[in-house]
Structure 1
Amino acid sequence: MSESIVELKGVRKSYGVGSAVESEVLHGIDLRLREGEFVALVGPSGSGKSTLLNLIGLLERPTSGHVAIAGRPIEGLDEAGITELRGRTIGFVFQFHHLLPAFSALENVMMPAIIERGVPDDEAERRARELLARVGLAGAERKKPGQLSGGMQQRVAIARALSLSPRLILADEPTGNLDTKSAEDVFELLLEFNRDTRAACLIVTHDPRLAARCQRKIEIVDGRIVDGVSFGPTSADEYAMRGSPR
Protein backbone atom coordinates (compact mmCIF):
# COMPACT_ATOMS: atom_id res chain seq x y z
CA MET A 1 0.00 0.00 0.00
CA SER A 2 1.36 3.45 -0.93
CA GLU A 3 2.24 5.89 1.80
CA SER A 4 -0.24 8.61 2.74
CA ILE A 5 1.04 12.03 1.68
CA VAL A 6 -2.05 13.94 2.85
CA GLU A 7 -4.30 12.91 5.71
CA LEU A 8 -7.21 15.04 6.97
CA LYS A 9 -9.59 13.87 9.68
CA GLY A 10 -12.57 15.88 10.87
CA VAL A 11 -11.10 19.13 9.56
CA ARG A 12 -13.14 22.27 10.09
CA LYS A 13 -12.25 25.82 9.12
CA SER A 14 -13.99 28.94 10.37
CA TYR A 15 -13.32 32.62 9.83
CA GLY A 16 -14.09 35.35 12.34
CA VAL A 17 -13.72 32.87 15.21
CA GLY A 18 -15.22 34.29 18.40
CA SER A 19 -16.96 37.15 16.61
CA ALA A 20 -20.64 37.68 15.97
CA VAL A 21 -20.12 36.89 12.28
CA GLU A 22 -18.19 33.64 12.67
CA SER A 23 -18.55 31.55 9.51
CA GLU A 24 -17.58 27.89 9.10
CA VAL A 25 -16.39 27.18 5.56
CA LEU A 26 -15.29 23.54 5.87
CA HIS A 27 -17.41 21.08 7.84
CA GLY A 28 -15.63 17.96 9.03
CA ILE A 29 -13.48 17.08 6.01
CA ASP A 30 -11.96 13.58 5.81
CA LEU A 31 -9.47 13.15 2.98
CA ARG A 32 -6.45 11.00 2.16
CA LEU A 33 -4.06 11.24 -0.79
CA ARG A 34 -1.45 8.56 -1.32
CA GLU A 35 1.93 8.61 -2.98
CA GLY A 36 1.59 8.58 -6.77
CA GLU A 37 -2.10 9.52 -6.90
CA PHE A 38 -3.35 12.06 -9.46
CA VAL A 39 -6.60 13.52 -8.14
CA ALA A 40 -9.01 16.21 -9.35
CA LEU A 41 -10.78 18.49 -6.86
CA VAL A 42 -14.00 19.90 -8.30
CA GLY A 43 -16.97 21.89 -7.07
CA PRO A 44 -18.89 25.11 -7.68
CA SER A 45 -17.48 28.55 -6.87
CA GLY A 46 -17.65 29.21 -3.15
CA SER A 47 -17.75 25.52 -2.27
CA GLY A 48 -14.54 25.61 -0.21
CA LYS A 49 -12.03 24.33 -2.79
CA SER A 50 -9.54 27.16 -2.28
CA THR A 51 -9.80 26.96 1.50
CA LEU A 52 -9.20 23.21 1.40
CA LEU A 53 -6.21 23.68 -0.91
CA ASN A 54 -4.80 26.35 1.41
CA LEU A 55 -5.08 23.99 4.39
CA ILE A 56 -3.41 21.11 2.54
CA GLY A 57 -0.73 23.53 1.30
CA LEU A 58 -0.09 24.68 4.89
CA LEU A 59 -0.93 28.26 4.00
CA GLU A 60 -3.63 28.23 6.68
CA ARG A 61 -4.31 26.15 9.78
CA PRO A 62 -7.60 24.38 10.48
CA THR A 63 -9.87 25.58 13.26
CA SER A 64 -10.12 21.98 14.43
CA GLY A 65 -9.32 18.48 13.22
CA HIS A 66 -6.18 16.58 12.27
CA VAL A 67 -3.86 17.41 9.36
CA ALA A 68 -0.74 15.40 8.50
CA ILE A 69 1.51 15.98 5.49
CA ALA A 70 3.99 13.27 4.50
CA GLY A 71 3.29 11.57 7.80
CA ARG A 72 3.98 14.65 9.93
CA PRO A 73 1.05 16.00 12.01
CA ILE A 74 1.03 19.79 11.92
CA GLU A 75 -0.69 20.32 15.27
CA GLY A 76 2.59 20.60 17.20
CA LEU A 77 4.54 22.58 14.60
CA ASP A 78 5.38 26.26 15.04
CA GLU A 79 5.49 28.61 12.05
CA ALA A 80 9.13 27.79 11.33
CA GLY A 81 8.28 24.08 11.28
CA ILE A 82 5.30 24.70 9.00
CA THR A 83 7.45 26.72 6.61
CA GLU A 84 10.13 24.03 6.51
CA LEU A 85 7.62 21.23 5.89
CA ARG A 86 5.85 23.23 3.18
CA GLY A 87 9.07 24.19 1.42
CA ARG A 88 10.51 20.68 1.36
CA THR A 89 7.32 18.74 0.64
CA ILE A 90 4.92 20.81 -1.47
CA GLY A 91 5.13 22.36 -4.93
CA PHE A 92 2.49 24.90 -5.98
CA VAL A 93 1.18 25.66 -9.48
CA PHE A 94 -1.41 28.43 -9.73
CA GLN A 95 -3.75 29.73 -12.43
CA PHE A 96 -1.75 32.96 -12.34
CA HIS A 97 1.83 31.76 -12.45
CA HIS A 98 3.27 34.49 -10.18
CA LEU A 99 6.64 34.56 -11.91
CA LEU A 100 8.96 37.38 -10.89
CA PRO A 101 9.00 39.69 -13.93
CA ALA A 102 12.48 41.11 -13.30
CA PHE A 103 14.11 37.67 -13.30
CA SER A 104 14.82 35.24 -16.11
CA ALA A 105 13.09 31.89 -16.53
CA LEU A 106 16.21 30.20 -15.13
CA GLU A 107 16.30 32.48 -12.09
CA ASN A 108 12.58 31.97 -11.44
CA VAL A 109 13.03 28.20 -11.40
CA MET A 110 16.06 28.52 -9.12
CA MET A 111 14.21 30.76 -6.66
CA PRO A 112 12.92 28.05 -4.24
CA ALA A 113 16.45 26.66 -3.89
CA ILE A 114 17.88 30.15 -3.42
CA ILE A 115 15.33 30.87 -0.69
CA GLU A 116 16.08 27.57 1.02
CA ARG A 117 19.88 27.81 0.83
CA GLY A 118 20.32 31.56 1.01
CA VAL A 119 22.51 31.79 -2.09
CA PRO A 120 22.41 30.44 -5.67
CA ASP A 121 24.70 27.49 -6.31
CA ASP A 122 25.76 25.24 -9.16
CA GLU A 123 23.40 22.43 -8.13
CA ALA A 124 20.38 24.77 -8.15
CA GLU A 125 21.31 26.02 -11.62
CA ARG A 126 21.88 22.51 -12.94
CA ARG A 127 18.51 21.38 -11.63
CA ALA A 128 16.76 24.46 -13.06
CA ARG A 129 18.28 23.93 -16.52
CA GLU A 130 17.30 20.27 -16.44
CA LEU A 131 13.70 21.08 -15.54
CA LEU A 132 13.38 23.82 -18.17
CA ALA A 133 14.62 21.34 -20.76
CA ARG A 134 12.06 18.77 -19.57
CA VAL A 135 9.21 21.26 -19.98
CA GLY A 136 10.38 22.12 -23.50
CA LEU A 137 12.09 25.43 -22.75
CA ALA A 138 15.74 24.61 -23.42
CA GLY A 139 17.19 27.75 -24.97
CA ALA A 140 14.75 30.07 -23.20
CA GLU A 141 16.62 30.17 -19.89
CA ARG A 142 17.58 33.84 -20.13
CA LYS A 143 14.19 35.11 -21.29
CA LYS A 144 12.07 37.05 -18.83
CA PRO A 145 8.38 36.23 -18.29
CA GLY A 146 7.24 39.14 -20.47
CA GLN A 147 9.06 37.56 -23.42
CA LEU A 148 7.19 34.25 -23.06
CA SER A 149 3.68 33.20 -24.04
CA GLY A 150 1.12 32.30 -21.38
CA GLY A 151 1.65 28.58 -21.94
CA MET A 152 5.42 28.98 -21.74
CA GLN A 153 5.12 30.97 -18.51
CA GLN A 154 3.02 28.20 -16.99
CA ARG A 155 5.70 25.69 -18.01
CA VAL A 156 8.25 27.79 -16.13
CA ALA A 157 5.90 27.79 -13.12
CA ILE A 158 5.68 23.98 -13.24
CA ALA A 159 9.46 23.71 -13.42
CA ARG A 160 9.74 26.04 -10.42
CA ALA A 161 7.21 23.97 -8.46
CA LEU A 162 9.32 20.86 -9.07
CA SER A 163 12.70 22.40 -8.32
CA LEU A 164 12.98 20.90 -4.81
CA SER A 165 11.51 17.52 -5.82
CA PRO A 166 8.29 17.84 -3.80
CA ARG A 167 6.29 14.82 -2.70
CA LEU A 168 3.01 16.71 -3.24
CA ILE A 169 2.01 19.00 -6.11
CA LEU A 170 -0.98 21.31 -5.59
CA ALA A 171 -2.30 22.85 -8.81
CA ASP A 172 -5.05 25.48 -8.58
CA GLU A 173 -6.72 25.85 -12.01
CA PRO A 174 -3.31 25.60 -13.74
CA THR A 175 -4.90 25.59 -17.21
CA GLY A 176 -7.62 28.15 -16.54
CA ASN A 177 -6.01 31.00 -18.51
CA LEU A 178 -4.66 28.93 -21.39
CA ASP A 179 -5.92 28.02 -24.84
CA THR A 180 -6.92 24.41 -25.48
CA LYS A 181 -3.56 23.30 -26.88
CA SER A 182 -1.52 24.96 -24.13
CA ALA A 183 -3.88 23.57 -21.48
CA GLU A 184 -3.43 20.06 -22.85
CA ASP A 185 0.36 20.45 -22.87
CA VAL A 186 0.42 21.67 -19.26
CA PHE A 187 -1.85 18.85 -18.11
CA GLU A 188 0.35 16.29 -19.86
CA LEU A 189 3.41 17.72 -18.12
CA LEU A 190 1.78 17.30 -14.73
CA LEU A 191 0.82 13.72 -15.59
CA GLU A 192 4.36 13.01 -16.77
CA PHE A 193 5.96 14.29 -13.57
CA ASN A 194 3.40 12.41 -11.51
CA ARG A 195 4.36 9.16 -13.23
CA ASP A 196 8.09 9.81 -13.14
CA THR A 197 8.44 11.05 -9.55
CA ARG A 198 5.48 9.35 -7.79
CA ALA A 199 4.59 12.72 -6.28
CA ALA A 200 0.92 12.95 -5.34
CA CYS A 201 -0.92 15.59 -7.37
CA LEU A 202 -4.13 17.39 -6.41
CA ILE A 203 -5.47 19.56 -9.22
CA VAL A 204 -8.38 21.98 -8.89
CA THR A 205 -10.19 22.26 -12.22
CA HIS A 206 -13.53 23.31 -13.67
CA ASP A 207 -12.82 21.35 -16.86
CA PRO A 208 -14.74 18.04 -16.75
CA ARG A 209 -12.54 16.60 -19.53
CA LEU A 210 -9.41 17.07 -17.46
CA ALA A 211 -11.08 15.83 -14.28
CA ALA A 212 -12.13 12.64 -16.07
CA ARG A 213 -8.50 11.94 -16.95
CA CYS A 214 -7.44 11.92 -13.32
CA GLN A 215 -7.28 8.79 -11.22
CA ARG A 216 -9.90 10.10 -8.80
CA LYS A 217 -12.34 12.98 -8.67
CA ILE A 218 -13.25 14.53 -5.32
CA GLU A 219 -16.27 16.82 -5.33
CA ILE A 220 -16.83 19.42 -2.63
CA VAL A 221 -20.11 21.29 -2.19
CA ASP A 222 -20.87 23.79 0.57
CA GLY A 223 -17.77 22.81 2.49
CA ARG A 224 -18.44 19.07 2.47
CA ILE A 225 -17.03 16.29 0.32
CA VAL A 226 -20.05 14.78 -1.42
CA ASP A 227 -18.43 12.42 -3.89
CA GLY A 228 -15.15 10.66 -4.55
CA VAL A 229 -15.22 8.92 -7.94
CA SER A 230 -12.43 6.62 -9.10
CA PHE A 231 -11.83 6.60 -12.85
CA GLY A 232 -8.88 4.24 -12.85
CA PRO A 233 -7.18 1.48 -10.85
CA THR A 234 -7.92 1.19 -7.17
CA SER A 235 -4.40 1.91 -5.98
CA ALA A 236 -1.78 4.50 -6.83
CA ASP A 237 0.70 1.71 -7.58
CA GLU A 238 -1.58 0.17 -10.22
CA TYR A 239 -2.19 3.61 -11.72
CA ALA A 240 1.54 4.31 -12.00
CA MET A 241 2.17 0.98 -13.71
CA ARG A 242 -0.58 1.54 -16.26
CA GLY A 243 0.30 5.15 -17.03
CA SER A 244 -2.15 8.02 -17.55
CA PRO A 245 -5.61 7.40 -18.99
CA ARG A 246 -6.32 8.65 -22.47
Structure 2
Amino acid sequence: MSALRPAAAGPVLELAGITKTYNPGTPVATEVLHGIDLSLAEGEFTALVGPSGSGKSTLLNLIGLLERPSAGRLLIAGRDTGQLDEAALTALRGRSIGFVFQFHHLLPAFTAHENVMMPALIAHGVADPQIEADALALLDAVGLKAHAHKKPTQLSGGQQQRVAIARALALRPRLILADEPTGNLDTRTADDIFALLREFNHQTRCACLIVTHDPRLAARCDRTVTLVDGRLVI
Protein backbone atom coordinates (compact mmCIF):
# COMPACT_ATOMS: atom_id res chain seq x y z
CA MET A 1 0.00 0.00 0.00
CA SER A 2 3.00 2.31 -0.13
CA ALA A 3 1.68 3.75 -3.40
CA LEU A 4 -1.33 5.23 -1.62
CA ARG A 5 -1.24 8.49 0.30
CA PRO A 6 -4.09 10.14 2.22
CA ALA A 7 -5.66 13.05 0.39
CA ALA A 8 -5.37 16.54 1.82
CA ALA A 9 -8.27 17.84 3.86
CA GLY A 10 -10.90 20.13 2.36
CA PRO A 11 -13.87 20.10 -0.01
CA VAL A 12 -13.32 18.08 -3.13
CA LEU A 13 -16.30 18.91 -5.37
CA GLU A 14 -18.65 21.89 -5.38
CA LEU A 15 -21.38 22.54 -7.95
CA ALA A 16 -23.52 25.68 -7.73
CA GLY A 17 -26.33 26.44 -10.16
CA ILE A 18 -24.93 24.19 -12.89
CA THR A 19 -26.89 24.06 -16.14
CA LYS A 20 -26.11 22.42 -19.47
CA THR A 21 -27.78 23.37 -22.73
CA TYR A 22 -27.02 21.72 -26.05
CA ASN A 23 -27.37 23.71 -29.29
CA PRO A 24 -27.84 27.01 -27.42
CA GLY A 25 -29.32 29.89 -29.42
CA THR A 26 -30.94 27.58 -31.95
CA PRO A 27 -34.53 26.37 -32.39
CA VAL A 28 -33.46 22.95 -31.10
CA ALA A 29 -31.76 24.22 -27.92
CA THR A 30 -32.20 21.66 -25.14
CA GLU A 31 -31.40 22.24 -21.48
CA VAL A 32 -30.65 18.86 -19.91
CA LEU A 33 -29.39 19.99 -16.49
CA HIS A 34 -31.28 22.62 -14.51
CA GLY A 35 -29.52 24.40 -11.66
CA ILE A 36 -27.56 21.53 -10.09
CA ASP A 37 -26.19 22.14 -6.58
CA LEU A 38 -23.98 19.40 -5.15
CA SER A 39 -21.03 19.16 -2.79
CA LEU A 40 -18.76 16.23 -1.93
CA ALA A 41 -16.41 16.38 1.02
CA GLU A 42 -13.21 14.44 1.47
CA GLY A 43 -13.95 10.76 2.07
CA GLU A 44 -17.61 10.88 0.99
CA PHE A 45 -18.88 7.84 -0.87
CA THR A 46 -22.02 8.87 -2.75
CA ALA A 47 -24.31 7.03 -5.13
CA LEU A 48 -25.85 8.87 -8.09
CA VAL A 49 -29.03 7.19 -9.31
CA GLY A 50 -31.84 8.04 -11.68
CA PRO A 51 -33.73 6.75 -14.70
CA SER A 52 -32.18 6.55 -18.15
CA GLY A 53 -32.25 9.95 -19.83
CA SER A 54 -32.21 11.86 -16.55
CA GLY A 55 -28.86 13.51 -17.32
CA LYS A 56 -26.47 11.34 -15.26
CA SER A 57 -23.94 10.93 -18.07
CA THR A 58 -23.99 14.64 -18.85
CA LEU A 59 -23.47 15.49 -15.18
CA LEU A 60 -20.59 13.04 -14.90
CA ASN A 61 -18.99 14.50 -18.04
CA LEU A 62 -19.16 17.98 -16.52
CA ILE A 63 -17.73 16.88 -13.18
CA GLY A 64 -15.02 14.95 -15.03
CA LEU A 65 -14.12 18.15 -16.93
CA LEU A 66 -14.87 16.48 -20.26
CA GLU A 67 -17.46 19.17 -21.06
CA ARG A 68 -18.05 22.68 -19.75
CA PRO A 69 -21.31 23.74 -18.11
CA SER A 70 -23.47 26.38 -19.77
CA ALA A 71 -23.84 28.29 -16.49
CA GLY A 72 -22.96 27.96 -12.81
CA ARG A 73 -19.76 27.28 -10.89
CA LEU A 74 -17.86 24.00 -10.73
CA LEU A 75 -14.96 23.72 -8.31
CA ILE A 76 -12.58 20.75 -8.08
CA ALA A 77 -10.26 20.67 -5.07
CA GLY A 78 -11.04 24.34 -4.49
CA ARG A 79 -10.22 25.49 -8.04
CA ASP A 80 -12.91 27.27 -10.06
CA THR A 81 -12.80 25.38 -13.35
CA GLY A 82 -14.59 28.18 -15.16
CA GLN A 83 -11.42 30.25 -14.85
CA LEU A 84 -9.19 27.63 -16.47
CA ASP A 85 -8.18 27.21 -20.13
CA GLU A 86 -8.21 23.80 -21.81
CA ALA A 87 -4.59 23.01 -20.94
CA ALA A 88 -5.19 23.79 -17.26
CA LEU A 89 -8.41 21.77 -17.27
CA THR A 90 -6.56 18.79 -18.73
CA ALA A 91 -3.85 19.08 -16.07
CA LEU A 92 -6.42 19.35 -13.26
CA ARG A 93 -8.36 16.36 -14.61
CA GLY A 94 -5.26 14.20 -14.75
CA ARG A 95 -4.07 15.21 -11.31
CA SER A 96 -7.32 15.28 -9.33
CA ILE A 97 -9.83 12.89 -10.94
CA GLY A 98 -9.76 9.12 -11.44
CA PHE A 99 -12.25 7.44 -13.76
CA VAL A 100 -13.70 3.92 -13.59
CA PHE A 101 -16.20 2.89 -16.28
CA GLN A 102 -18.59 -0.02 -16.82
CA PHE A 103 -16.23 -1.23 -19.54
CA HIS A 104 -12.65 -1.10 -18.33
CA HIS A 105 -11.12 0.57 -21.43
CA LEU A 106 -7.73 -1.01 -20.82
CA LEU A 107 -5.21 -0.74 -23.65
CA PRO A 108 -5.06 -4.27 -25.11
CA ALA A 109 -1.47 -4.02 -26.39
CA PHE A 110 -0.09 -3.34 -22.91
CA THR A 111 0.24 -5.48 -19.80
CA ALA A 112 -1.72 -4.87 -16.61
CA HIS A 113 1.39 -3.25 -15.09
CA GLU A 114 1.83 -0.95 -18.09
CA ASN A 115 -1.85 0.01 -18.07
CA VAL A 116 -1.62 1.06 -14.42
CA MET A 117 1.56 3.02 -15.15
CA MET A 118 -0.07 4.91 -18.04
CA PRO A 119 -1.48 7.95 -16.13
CA ALA A 120 1.91 8.62 -14.52
CA LEU A 121 3.70 8.15 -17.84
CA ILE A 122 1.37 10.66 -19.47
CA ALA A 123 1.82 13.10 -16.59
CA HIS A 124 5.60 12.83 -16.35
CA GLY A 125 6.55 11.83 -19.89
CA VAL A 126 9.01 9.13 -18.88
CA ALA A 127 9.08 5.93 -16.83
CA ASP A 128 11.24 5.68 -13.74
CA PRO A 129 11.68 3.02 -11.05
CA GLN A 130 9.30 4.82 -8.66
CA ILE A 131 6.45 4.87 -11.22
CA GLU A 132 7.00 1.17 -11.88
CA ALA A 133 7.09 0.38 -8.16
CA ASP A 134 3.96 2.43 -7.43
CA ALA A 135 2.02 0.68 -10.21
CA LEU A 136 3.10 -2.73 -8.95
CA ALA A 137 2.06 -1.79 -5.40
CA LEU A 138 -1.38 -0.81 -6.69
CA LEU A 139 -1.74 -4.13 -8.51
CA ASP A 140 -0.74 -5.85 -5.29
CA ALA A 141 -3.42 -3.83 -3.46
CA VAL A 142 -6.10 -5.09 -5.86
CA GLY A 143 -4.82 -8.67 -5.60
CA LEU A 144 -3.26 -8.88 -9.06
CA LYS A 145 0.49 -8.60 -8.52
CA ALA A 146 0.93 -12.13 -9.85
CA HIS A 147 -0.83 -11.08 -13.07
CA ALA A 148 1.16 -7.89 -13.63
CA HIS A 149 2.66 -9.05 -16.91
CA LYS A 150 -0.55 -10.39 -18.44
CA LYS A 151 -2.43 -8.48 -21.11
CA PRO A 152 -6.13 -7.66 -20.66
CA THR A 153 -7.28 -10.53 -22.89
CA GLN A 154 -5.61 -12.94 -20.46
CA LEU A 155 -7.65 -11.63 -17.52
CA SER A 156 -11.25 -12.22 -16.46
CA GLY A 157 -13.79 -9.38 -16.53
CA GLY A 158 -13.48 -8.85 -12.79
CA GLN A 159 -9.68 -8.84 -12.98
CA GLN A 160 -9.76 -6.31 -15.80
CA GLN A 161 -11.98 -4.03 -13.71
CA ARG A 162 -9.53 -4.36 -10.81
CA VAL A 163 -6.74 -3.21 -13.12
CA ALA A 164 -8.92 -0.27 -14.17
CA ILE A 165 -9.42 0.69 -10.51
CA ALA A 166 -5.68 0.50 -9.88
CA ARG A 167 -5.11 2.71 -12.94
CA ALA A 168 -7.69 5.23 -11.68
CA LEU A 169 -5.73 5.49 -8.41
CA ALA A 170 -2.31 5.86 -10.04
CA LEU A 171 -2.00 9.61 -9.37
CA ARG A 172 -3.75 9.52 -5.96
CA PRO A 173 -6.75 11.57 -7.15
CA ARG A 174 -8.93 13.58 -4.78
CA LEU A 175 -12.08 12.42 -6.61
CA ILE A 176 -13.09 9.06 -8.13
CA LEU A 177 -15.91 9.04 -10.69
CA ALA A 178 -17.29 5.56 -11.37
CA ASP A 179 -19.91 5.12 -14.09
CA GLU A 180 -21.70 1.78 -13.56
CA PRO A 181 -18.41 0.13 -12.51
CA THR A 182 -20.17 -3.15 -11.70
CA GLY A 183 -22.81 -3.09 -14.43
CA ASN A 184 -21.04 -5.64 -16.63
CA LEU A 185 -20.24 -8.10 -13.84
CA ASP A 186 -22.02 -10.95 -12.07
CA THR A 187 -23.37 -10.25 -8.58
CA ARG A 188 -20.48 -11.77 -6.63
CA THR A 189 -17.81 -10.02 -8.69
CA ALA A 190 -19.79 -6.78 -8.52
CA ASP A 191 -19.82 -7.01 -4.73
CA ASP A 192 -16.05 -7.58 -4.73
CA ILE A 193 -15.40 -4.57 -6.98
CA PHE A 194 -17.68 -2.37 -4.87
CA ALA A 195 -15.89 -3.48 -1.69
CA LEU A 196 -12.54 -2.67 -3.30
CA LEU A 197 -13.65 0.86 -4.19
CA ARG A 198 -14.96 1.30 -0.65
CA GLU A 199 -11.66 0.07 0.80
CA PHE A 200 -9.65 2.59 -1.19
CA ASN A 201 -12.14 5.30 -0.25
CA HIS A 202 -11.49 4.57 3.44
CA GLN A 203 -7.72 4.32 3.03
CA THR A 204 -7.05 7.38 0.86
CA ARG A 205 -10.02 9.56 1.92
CA CYS A 206 -10.77 10.28 -1.74
CA ALA A 207 -14.34 11.34 -2.50
CA CYS A 208 -16.26 8.88 -4.67
CA LEU A 209 -19.30 9.46 -6.87
CA ILE A 210 -20.70 6.15 -8.08
CA VAL A 211 -23.36 5.93 -10.78
CA THR A 212 -25.30 2.70 -10.30
CA HIS A 213 -28.63 1.12 -11.13
CA ASP A 214 -28.15 -1.49 -8.39
CA PRO A 215 -30.21 -0.51 -5.31
CA ARG A 216 -28.22 -2.97 -3.17
CA LEU A 217 -24.99 -1.12 -3.88
CA ALA A 218 -26.56 2.32 -3.57
CA ALA A 219 -27.84 1.36 -0.11
CA ARG A 220 -24.27 0.67 0.99
CA CYS A 221 -23.07 4.18 0.11
CA ASP A 222 -22.88 7.04 2.61
CA ARG A 223 -25.73 8.78 0.83
CA THR A 224 -27.69 8.64 -2.40
CA VAL A 225 -28.58 11.55 -4.68
CA THR A 226 -31.19 11.09 -7.37
CA LEU A 227 -31.28 12.85 -10.70
CA VAL A 228 -34.71 13.16 -12.30
CA ASP A 229 -35.32 15.15 -15.50
CA GLY A 230 -32.10 17.08 -15.04
CA ARG A 231 -32.73 18.05 -11.42
CA LEU A 232 -31.19 16.60 -8.26
CA VAL A 233 -33.41 15.16 -5.56
CA ILE A 234 -31.21 14.84 -2.46
- TM-score tier by shorter-chain length is over 0.9
Q: How far did 1:132 drift? A: 0.3
Q: Distance in 1 between matches of 2:126 and 2:70?
A: 36
Matched AA of 1:7: E
1:155-199 deviation line (CA, Å, top 9, x unaligned): 000000000000100000000000111101100000000000000
Matching residue of 2:98: 91
How far apart in 2 are the matches of 1:121 and 1:203? Answer: 32
Aligned position for 1:81? 88
Q: Structure 1: which 5+ runs fail to align?
A: 229-246
Q: Secondary structure at the match of 2:12?
A: strand
Aligned-pair identity in percent equals 69
Task: Note if 1:126 corresponds to 2:133.
Answer: yes
Q: Which residue of 2 aligns with 1:208?
A: 215
- What is the CA RMSD across the aligned residues, in angstroms? 0.7
- 3-state DSSP class of the match of 2:121? helix
Task: Output the TM-score relative to the length of structure 2.
Answer: 0.95
Q: Which of 135, 140, 147 is 2:154 aligned to?
A: 147
Equivalent residues in 2 for 1:42-81, closer than 5 Å: 42-81=49-88
The offset of 1:75, in angstroms, is 1.2
* Structure 2 letter corresponding to 1:174: P
By how many angstroms is 1:3 displaced?
2.0
**C-alpha distance in 2 between matches for 1:3 and 1:165:** 15
Deviating above 6 A after TM superposition, structure 1's stretches of 4 or more consecutive aligned residues are: none
Shift of 1:131: 0.4
Q: Which has the higher relative contact order, 1 or 2, with Cα contacts under 8 A spaced 6 or more apart?
A: 2
Calculate the TM-score normalised by the size of structure 1: 0.91
Q: Which residue of 2 aligns with 1:182?
A: 189
Is 1:117–2:124 an aligned residue pair?
Answer: yes
How many residues are paired up? 226
The amino acid of 1:154's aligned partner reads: Q
